[in-house]
C-alpha cells in the first residue's frame, strides 16, 4: 500500500464541498448587492449549480433498492 500525503487526502475529501460553498456564497452576495443586469445573472448561475448538484445526488441518482433473493 502506498501512503498518501495528508494534504492530498484533504483535497480529495473536501474539494467539491468547498467549491459548492464558495459558489453559494458568491451567489448570495451577488444577489444581495446587485441591481439588475449581470449581478442577477451571476447570482442565478452561482446558486443554480449547487442546487442542481443537490438535486442530482439527492433525488435523481439513487440506486434502485434490490429485494433479497428467494432461494
Domain ranges of the chain: 17-56
Q: Look at residue 45 in the predicted model and tell me its pLDDT.
A: 96
d(CA 43, CA 32): 9
56's grid cell: 442530482
Whole-number Cα distances in Å, 63 to 40, 55, 57, 59, 66: 36, 14, 10, 10, 9
Helix ranges (DSSP H) in 1-71: 6-33, 38-55
Q: What is the pLDDT of residues 9-41, one digit of tens each?
A: 888 889 999 999 999 999 999 999 988 899 999
Q: pTM, whole model, 2 decimals?
A: 0.70
Q: Look at residue 18 in the predicted model and tell me its pLDDT.
A: 94
Amino acid at each position: 500500500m502506498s501512503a498518501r500525503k495528508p494534504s492530498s487526502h484533504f483535497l480529495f475529501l473536501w474539494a467539491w464541498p468547498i467549491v459548492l460553498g464558495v459558489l453559494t456564497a458568491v451567489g448570495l452576495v451577488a444577489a444581495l448587492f446587485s441591481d439588475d443586469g449581470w449581478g442577477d445573472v451571476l447570482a442565478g448561475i452561482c446558486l443554480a449549480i449547487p442546487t442542481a448538484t443537490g438535486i442530482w445526488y439527492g433525488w435523481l441518482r439513487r440506486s434502485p433498492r434490490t429485494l433479497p433473493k428467494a432461494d
